[in-house]
Each structure stands twice: as structure tokens, then as C-alpha cells.
Structure 1
Amino acid sequence: MAISGTKDTTCFVCGPDNPLGLRVPFAPDGDAGSTAVYVARKEHGGWNGILHGGVTFSLMDEAFGWCLYFQDIPSVTARIETRFHRPIPIGTRLHIRAWVVGQRKRLFDAKAEVREGDAGGTLLAESEAVLCRVAPDAMPELELVGASR
């Protein structure tokens, strides 16, 4: 995503113009979710041919932001708890999904998962998060770059 009025499209996870980034386009998934596909690349590897856990974490954190963005809700992540189930070999096609499960005033509870291959693939990692709605004037308006809405 890019911030309106700028030409910055270099977000590490979704920015299409970041040569070192993941360049992952997100799309809506139902009424309260987001989804994306990413193939684990060697330049984002950790130890011994596996995807760095921080990249897996970042994919889920980004998916959380998009699931609220697609509902026109500006937000920031307040808390995330992540569980890694299996190492992810470089070259693995990943299906990333996040969805809102509840709301308490300005706080949104959400879940995310990373699966091998497609939505029905082996669960590789999962997260639960709390996101906080922020006032629209506290964040610049966001425009989509490389995502369908």
C-alpha cells in the first residue's frame, strides 16, 4: 500500500517497489478478512534453507492490517501471539489468511494463519492479534497498490 500524496510503495511486505521486500499483494477474503499467496524466497531465508520466522510473522501481521483496511478501518497492531508449527522450506508456496473474530469498542480481535499450498494445506503458523482502531485523521489515507479491493 502507498500513502496518498506520496509515491512511497516500499512497504517491506506489500510494497511492489521494494527490491528487498516480499512484494505480496493482498485481497479481501469475505466480509472481514484478507488473503494472499507468497512463495518463500531464498533471500528471506533463515537458517539451513528455511524461511526466517520473522518473515512468517510479518506476513501474518500484514494480513491483519489488510483485513481491517478492506473494511475502511484504520488500525495499528497492539498485540500479537504467534505459534510456529513447522519450519517452512525455501520455495514453499504459502497461503496467508487473516480474519476478524470480534470487536470490543476500538479493539478488534483477529486470527491469521499460514498454510502450505492453499487454504486447505498443512497449517504452518498461526497468530492471534488485537488491533486498535485509530482516528482517521491520525493516519494518512491509504491507497491500494498491488491489491484488489
Structure 2
Amino acid sequence: MKMRKQPNAEMCFVCGRSNPAGLKMSFHDNEIDTVVSEVVIPEHCQGYPEIAHGGILTAILDEVVGRSIMAGDHHRFMMTVNMQVQFRLPVLVGTKVKAEGKLLRLKSRIAKAQGKIYLPDGRVACEAELTMADMPAEIATHSRLEALNWAVDED
């Protein structure tokens, strides 16, 4: 399956290339409905000692699911209006995990999508189902995105 790299932002906690505390994740999509990424959970993102904080995992799920809506259009932004997360297994800091988001349904201004974070052995560490709504048009304008340096970085 051919995968296309998605844009990154400057200061986003999850994908921001210049955020010193961020995860600096890159995302690739299949140009239809699925987005994937991998990340090693850094030590400063722990909650319980040596365990990734649930809020960090939730942020990764929110990002990868939100980006599944962009698989066909990198300038289609939606915001999360409801998110249900199930934590199944702990994730140790320093572990490389795979995040996957999949668009389930898109109807005019509302979308349903799901995401999962996989451990290296393929087991699901956590998963989420999200309802998303269109971002207000004045927030996600092309000129605003350009000013925020929303762009695809070279590998």
C-alpha cells in the first residue's frame, strides 16, 4: 500500500517539529482513510514510574484519529467533540509504539473514527473512538496554515 507523508506544524505537542517538550511524530496516510505513525515514548512523558502517562497516549490517539480525516485532504481539519478511550495494557517509556487511525464515517460536518496504539508485539495497548466536527472556517484558513508553517517535511 502506498503511503503519503502528512504535514507537520511548528509547535503542536504531538507533531510539532520545534516543540522542545513534544513528541515530534510524523504521520503517513493511504490517501483514503488510514493514518499510521511510530514513536518511542520519551522518559519525560511518564505518569507512574516508567509507564507512559495516559494523557500522552490519549493525545497520540486524538492526533492520529484526527489525521485520518485528512487522508484525502491535508487541509481538512476537524475538532474532537467526543472521545472514548480504553486503556488495555501499560506502555513502558522508551518503548516504540505504532499508532493507527481509521476514518469510519464522514457525513458533511461530522465524522466518526477510531484509533489504536500497538505495542511492539502487536497487542493493543489502548484504543479510542472519536466523534469529530468541522473546525470553524476562520481558524483553518490556508493563509493561517501557511503562517503556522503547516508543511510536509522531507524524510
The alignment's TM-score, normalised by the length of structure 1, stands at 0.85
1:144 aligned residue (148, 151, 154): 151
Superposition RMSD in Å: 1.9
Q: Is the 8 A contact 1:82 1:126 kept in 2?
A: yes
Deviation at 1:147, TM superposition (A): 7.7
Q: Is the 8 A contact 1:27 1:147 kept in 2?
A: no
**Where does residue 132 of structure 1 map in the other structure?**
133
Deviations, residues 20-63 of structure 1 (Å, cap 9, x unaligned):
10100111145112110001110111112100100000001011
Aligned residues: 140
**Where does residue 25 of structure 1 map in the other structure?**
26
1:110 aligned residue (110, 113, 116): 113
The reply on whether 1:59 has 2:75 as its aligned counterpart is no
Gaps in structure 1 of 5+ consecutive residues: 3-8
The alignment's TM-score, normalised by the length of structure 2, stands at 0.82
| Counterparts of 1:79 and 1:147, CA distance in 2 | 33
User: 5 Å matches for 1:6-85?
Assistant: 9-29=10-30, 31-72=32-73, 73-85=76-88
Gaps in structure 2 of 5+ consecutive residues: 1-7
Q: Give the share of equivalent positions with the same residue, in percent.
A: 24
Range with greater deviation from structure 2 (89-98 or 30-39): 30-39
Relative contact order higher in (CA < 8 Å, ≥ 6 apart): 1
